[in-house]
Amino acid sequence: MIRNKHVLYAFRLIIGGLFIYAGAVKIADPLEFARDIQNYRILPPAASLFIALALPWFETLAGAFLIVGIFKRTSAWLLSFLLGGFIVLVIITMARGLDVDCGCFGSLSRKADGRLILEDALMLFMALEVALSSPGRRTLS
């Protein structure tokens, strides 16, 4: 486990920043995100729309909290859970032979593939390192 506070802070900035950006893009166009979710062919349309409206706010808030240091471990756990879910979703999608965009970053999204799994696994590693680190003060550092 990484104990260097500077490395952990860098992880917080990276993961938090990515989730703030990803959430903001989805908040700006929830219908496009709902279509992206629907392309995975796992949920009914009503559930896809609900997730498209709610999930981006969780991503954005958890990312912001992670960077600022408010509820950083809770935020890191939430983002770890989301990343684990995304990885499972992409694996299922690949196993089913579906060719879909991930829906991660709006119009900048790319195919849900093995490379995406590796990137999400790296982010999951960083988020888990923050989540498992010893609790500290609620500060910007």
pLDDT tens per residue across span 112-133: 899 999 999 999 999 999 999 9
Is the confidence at residue 64, as pLDDT, over 50?
yes
Any domain includes 30: yes
User: pLDDT digits over 4-22, tens only?
Assistant: 999 999 999 999 999 999 9
Residue 137 lies in a domain: no
SS3 assignment, position 111: strand
Query: Is residue 141, in this structure, part of any structural domain at all?
Result: no
Beta-carbon contacts of residue 69 (< 8 Å; ≥ 6 apart): 12, 136, 137, 138, 139, 140, 141
> Residue 140: inside a domain, yes or no?
no
pTM, rounded to two decimals = 0.90
Dihedral pair phi/psi, residue 2, rounded to 5°: -80, 130
- The answer to whether position 138 is within a domain reads no
Q: Is residue 139 part of a domain?
A: no
Q: What is the pLDDT of residue 134?
A: 67
In the chain, how many domains are there? 1
The answer to whether residue 20 is domain-embedded is yes
Mean pLDDT of 85-93: 96
Given pLDDT bands bounded at 50, 70 and 90, which one contains residue 141? very low
Range of the domain at 22: 5-132
- Quick count: other Cβ atoms within 10 Å of Cβ 66? 29
